[in-house]
Structure 1
Amino acid sequence: MSDVDPFKLFLDIQLKLPRNGPGSARATAEAFALVPELPPAPEILDVGCGQGPEAFDLLPLTQGRITAVDLFEPFLDKLHARAVAEEVPDERLTVKRADMEELPFGDGEFDLIWSEGAIYLMGFEDGLRAWRRHLKPAGACVVSELTWLTDTPSPEAWDYWREMYPGMGTVETNSEAAKRAGYRVVATTVLPKEDWFTDYYGPMKEEIRKSWGEYEGVEEVKAVFNEMYREIDIAERFIGEFSYVFYVMTRAE
């Protein structure tokens, strides 16, 4: 029990959650409604899909095909199992294991690239620049990114996110980064506070509580759980100073 992989423990908790980050079907639908006109059956790429909740949220909103990619195979296994259980045909949903930094697609394959809460792994501007070539000339991109909503955050919130995500920007700086990466930001929408807790932090706290006894006395596990609680505590006290923001963009020429 002493040889605990903190990252694996975190992922084990994530596998038990309904979502792998803050969000909701309603927020996904609201952001999708802001996308400029798409073809009747668009090709959509969902990058860093995790277990794919947003892919399933997008399916009833479009007649197109969604290609969902992630690097963590257990997430994709759960996504595939759900697709089978809900009888989603392959021509509507394709599941593929791939690294977001080396997407195995050609130029101009997709009408829409979608990514919720995952682009931070590459960095906002770097991710947008790398993915742009996969969009058709008139294509759109929707990304949710952790964003400061104030220029004067509380010192505790600032110190926490400066440590955890030093590249975190504001809506203004992220919009400028998107422009440099070759996009035009046409709309933004802020994820509300309840979408952090209903399907993410609330279930996470419950899973930590249930798992705590299994690792009684294992200090490495205690440290991992305490770090998760620390993040939840920061969110509970300072949401409104930051949140996820959906950036709805079109490819600029």
Structure 2
Amino acid sequence: MSNENKTIHEFDLNIIYDYFSNTERQGPGSADITLKALSFIEGLTEKSKIADVGCGTGGQTMVLAKNTASTIIGVELWADFITQFNQNAKNQNVQDRVKGVVGNMESLPFQNGELDLIWSEGAIYNVGFERGLSEWRKFLKQGGYIAVTENTWFTEERPAEIQDFWQKAYSEIDTISNKVAQMQKAGYLPIATFVVPDTCWTDYYAAQAVRQVAFLNKYQGNKTAEAFIDYQRYEATLYDKYKQYYGYVFYIGKKI
């Protein structure tokens, strides 16, 4: 099987997590984009509780912490990410109300109606957009919000190469209108959608290109690591070639 025909989930998880360790963000995004999405959320106070699902090392979580007075719980499957997350919270002096816990987004450690906001940047695809919206809804209070980024088609038709790549990598990729309809069907009032600018992607891939050199030196001769980097480089090449057809979209909804 060529690396172009694999998906990221077919690589050794230890390789993947090590590659993304000690990085501020594990996917395209920025503080400005996090703040833009946060601007659509009303009513957060020091009594509010936020869950950042698939928080990684907490780049976006720390932006939320600096711009709200709420309690924030980051949930991430990989323990090393949570260690880095909690250290980041200490570095930002927000550890009194921001905590990372090891957990599975398929079985979140919250009570029904406990949360005022569920946040998830670049992570809901791990359970699927529709499933995540539906299953996580019960954890929100009535009138609570959900805010997620999701890889999305910008056009109804696109070239076969990029269509085939994303259909295999993430079969739930769809158009904005269909994603909004899925949000409504799951029991939310769609509040806002906006496209994450391509600079977030190009900056992300540029930073990866630098990181890949050191990573390959660390894993010199490791065919699995080399194949993983080949896959990352192929994905970046596809984005540069086809970015007018797809990208992240922020979807913000309110539980009704």
Distance apart, 1:89 and its partner CA: 3.4
Quote the residue 2:4 is aligned against: none
Q: Which has the bigger relative contact order, CA under 8 A and spacing at least 6?
A: 1
Equivalent residue in structure 2 for 1:176, among 181, 184, 192: 181
Q: How does 1:53-72 map to 2 (within 5 A)?
A: 53-72=59-78
Q: Deviations over 1:84-119 (max 9, x none)?
A: 2222232x2122111111011111111111110111
Give unpaired runs (5+ residues) of structure 1. none
Whole-angstrom CA distance in 1 between matches of 2:159 and 2:153: 11
TM-score by length of 1: 0.92
Give the conservation status (yes or no) of the 8 Å contact 1:13–1:204: no
Aligned pair partner of 1:125 in 121, 130, 142: 130
Give the deviation of 1:188 after TM superposition.
Answer: 0.2
| Root mean square deviation, CA, Å | 1.4
- Tell me the secondary structure at the aligned position of residue 112 of structure 2: coil
Q: 1:232 aligns with which of 233, 236, 239?
A: 236
Partner of 1:138: 143
Query: Are residues 1:30 and 2:36 paired?
Result: yes
Q: Which whole-Å CA distance do the structure 2 matches of 1:66 and 1:172 have between them?
A: 31
Once the 2 structures are TM-superposed, how far is the Cα of residue 245 of structure 1 from its aligned partner? 0.6
Deviations 1:202-236 (A, max 9, x none): 22111111222344444333221111111111112
Matches of 2:58 and 2:128, distance apart in 1: 21
Distance apart, 1:182 and its partner CA: 1.1
In structure 1, distance between residues paired with 2:13 and 2:71: 32
Distance (Å, rounded) in 1 between the aligned partners of 2:157 and 2:91: 47
Match of 1:222 in 2: 226
Give, in whole Å, the separation in 2 of the partners of 1:76 and 1:180.
33
Offset at residue 186 of structure 1 (A): 1.3
Deviations 1:151-181 (A, max 9, x none): 1112221111111111111111111111121
Residue pairs, 1:1-253, within 5 angstroms: 6-35=12-41, 37-41=42-46, 42-90=48-96, 92-198=97-203, 200-252=204-256
Gaps of 5+ in 2: 1-10
Partner letter of residue 49 of structure 1? C
Secondary structure of 1:103's aligned partner = coil
- What is the count of residue pairs matched by the alignment? 245
The aligned amino acid for 2:202 is F
1:101 counterpart SS class:
coil
Question: Which whole-Å deviations, capped at 9, do the CAs of 1:97-150 have from their partners, x for residues lacking one?
Answer: 111110111111111111101110111010111100010011111011111111
Task: Give 1:31 deviation, angstroms.
Answer: 0.8
2:26 aligned partner, one-letter code: N
